[in-house]
Structure 1
Amino acid sequence: MDAWTIKSILSWTDTYFSQNGIDSPRLAAEILLAKVLKLRRLDLYLQHDRPLEKQELAEFKILIRRRIAREPVAYITGKKGFFKEQFKVAPGVLIPRPDTETLVETAIQVLSEAEHRGKKARVIELGVGSGAVIVSIANACPGHFYFGSDLSSIALATACANAKVFAQTKVALFKGDWLEAIQPHPLFDLILSNPPYIPSADIELLEPEVRDHEPRLALDGGVDGLDAVRMILAQAGDRLVPSGRLILEIGFDQKPIIKDIAKGFFWVTELDFIKDLAGHHRVAVFKK
């Protein structure tokens, strides 16, 4: 047959991925081919008649097999777009998701209010993962003090790498299990986290990309999915300044039980829920 061109290999891969139940088949094909050819996705269409060399075709076939095995595209390419940057990700590190941008936007709003009062806030993210959340917030709201922790050494190393490349404001990162490694003073103005919140029994029902590849530590929230939420709430009251806030990402259907849990913590004076772009309650904001 004639040599494979960018156009023909994209068309074939799109069909092949579709037949094998791969999500967003065309997009996946474009991202993987762009990686092999070291091009932007736009350039694939500007050069659609370009034939692939034998080595390029061989490399692309390897990536196709990895995707067919349900390895996430982000792990194959080593990066994931989030907010305004293409952050480094790696196996063992939770892949940032668009839903989590609601957490970032909520934190930015809280910090903007602090700036209007002329206050420099102390901000910490618990379970930083790739570091995409805290770095995005720090870049959007410079002039505050930023910290982040994670129990996973792999995640922490990835977050440090991303902070080094993308952070325009210093972000101090360290290893720790929620707030246990942090001294009682000084207190924080804002604590935030995207903790594991999927019920243990639901893990096996997840897509293979998530179930078989992403870190269970960052997904499994216990029997009802809210073990980590309870732990953070139990620790956060003593680590927040008066009127300080705790912002947590939650599951789309967890608002009612979150409200019941919050009633058991006397320090919570206000509780608000923020919807994501899909209209789901995605973020809980607790005020001391």
Structure 2
Amino acid sequence: MQNPAQTEDPPWTILSILKWTTSYLNSHDIESPRASAEILLAHVLGLKRIDLYIRYDQPLIQDELSRLKTAIRRRMRREPVAYIVGEREFWSLSMIVTPDVLIPRPETECLVEAALKLLAPPKSADAGAGPPLRVLELGTGSGAVALALAAELRTGLIAASDRSEKALGVAVQNARRHGLDRNLLFFSGDWFSCLRPGMTPFHMILSNPPYIPSAEIDRLQAEVSRYEPRGALDGGADGLGPIRTIIGQAPDYLRPGGHLLLEIGHDQSADIERIVELSGAYAECAFIRDYGGHLRVASIRRK
């Protein structure tokens, strides 16, 4: 196949290199080749994706072609595009991502949507009479969920934890990037290990915990199994280890009537219902579907 970096006549324009890159990625079974080509090229040129089509006849200089080749090589090794360009959009916020954090996914926006519906203030005349809103996110990673909530709520306390200090570093960068660092409290800890029973309880606790069974991780897409942090994926032998821990301990930190929201695997709802029932601490458990129709969020209300 022709090497674009060595071609001088005719010159490579944005449109011609975009077509070539798309075809090349597609021929090697790279998922979403057109989108990958657009994102990589826009990143190399410092443009928005729409600008590629506005400036379609702009020629690329040698340095730009060389940097694009490097990015393509990384993608050919199945490295996720988000790690190559160093960011991913979530809830209309551009999030810094590194291999220390999971790449935010569209289905996780369902977790944010569910939380905002439950946290919406009542429309009664004394709506402001209650205690300040307190929300806790466990396993925040890049901070995507916590930042989305902070951007929408703007009041109360949103605390977010992660056992990985490197992940927390990314979350703090993202908070500063969007001017939300004053709205959030980040702390390092493994689930509830840094909290004490008897503290002021939270109105809501939410998490996108690891829920992939250990034996299944190596069978996932190479982009996931090779590159994303295993500790953020591995839910133990049956995928339910962290979920059991959170469901079991959350009542000590939730207000009566408060909600626990969990992102879950599409086939885990029946098991989670049993775990909730056995705990005896909750009044109800419901499930919310994602954009693909899969049961994705468990909404559990404390008695």
- Compute the displacement of 1:113 (Å): 4.2
2:186 partner letter:
L
Kindly indicate whether residue 183 of structure 2 is the aligned counterpart of residue 170 of structure 1.
yes
- Secondary structure at 1:263's aligned position in 2? helix
Q: Of residues 249, 268, 272 in structure 2, which corresponds to 1:254?
A: 268
Q: Are the aligned partners of 1:70 and 1:209 in contact in 2 as well (CA < 8 Å)?
A: yes
Q: 1:49 aligns with which of 57, 68, 72?
A: 57
2:195 — aligned with what?
Answer: 182
The question of whether the paired residues in 1 share the 8 Å contact of 2:209 and 2:263 is answered with yes
> Retained in 1: the 8 A contact 2:155–2:183?
no
> Quick check: 1:207 aligned with 2:207?
no
1:82 aligns with 2:90: yes
CA distance in 1, matches of 2:240, 2:72: 37
Query: 2:148 aligned with 1:136, yes or no?
Result: yes
Alignment partner, residue 122 of structure 1: 134
Deviates more, 1:6-15 or 1:111-120: 111-120
CA offsets per residue over residues 150-172 of structure 1, 9 Å max, x none?
Answer: 00111100001111122546100
Q: Which one of the candidate residues 149, 167, 182 is aligned to 1:155? A: 167
Cα distance, 1:183 vs. partner?
Answer: 2.1
* Residue number among 194, 209, 212 corresponding to 1:198 in the alignment: 212
- Give the counterpart of 1:217 among 203, 206, 231: 231
Q: CA deviation at 1:115?
A: 7.5
Structure 2 match to 1:35: 43
Task: Specify which of 281, 298, 303 is matched with residue 267 of structure 1.
Answer: 281
- Aligned counterpart, 1:4: 12
Aligned residue in 1 for 2:29: 21
Q: What is the one-letter code of the residue matched to 1:102?
A: C
Q: After superposition, what is the alpha-carbon deviation per residue over 1:134-192, rounded to whole angstroms, capped at 9, x for unaligned?
A: 11011111212110000011110000111112254610001000011112201111000
CA contact (8 A) 1:114 1:121 kept: no
Mapped contact 1:138–1:167 kept (Cα < 8 A):
no
Letter in 1 for 2:191: W
What is the letter of the counterpart of residue 19 of structure 2? S
Q: Distance in 2 between matches of 1:11 and 1:100?
A: 32
- The residue type equivalent to 1:174 in the other structure is F
Aligned with 1:179: secondary structure? Answer: coil
What secondary structure does 2:109 align onto?
helix
Residues of 1 paired with 2:123 and 2:289: CA distance?
24
Larger radius of gyration: 2
Are 1:106 and 2:114 matched, yes or no?
yes
Percentage of matched positions with identical amino acids: 48
Distance 2:282 2:30 in 1: 44
1:198 aligned partner, one-letter code: I
Per-residue displacement from partner, 1:180-227 (whole Å, max 9, x unpaired)?
Answer: 111220111100000000111110110000000000000010111010
TM-score relative to the length of structure 2: 0.93
Gaps of 5+ in 2: 1-8
8 Å Cα contact 2:262-2:299 kept in structure 1: yes
Which whole-Å CA distance do the structure 1 matches of 2:123 and 2:252 have between them? 23
Q: Secondary structure at the match of 2:21?
A: helix
Consecutive aligned runs of 4 or more in structure 1 exceeding 2 Å deviation? 113-120
Amino acid aligned to 2:37: A
SS in 2 for 1:264: helix
TM-score (norm 1): 0.97
Cα offsets for 1:217-254 (capped at 9, x unmatched): 00010111010000111110111111011100001111
Which runs of 5 or more structure 1 residues have no equivalent in the other structure?
none
1:234–1:114 CA distance, 2 compared to 1 (3 A): farther
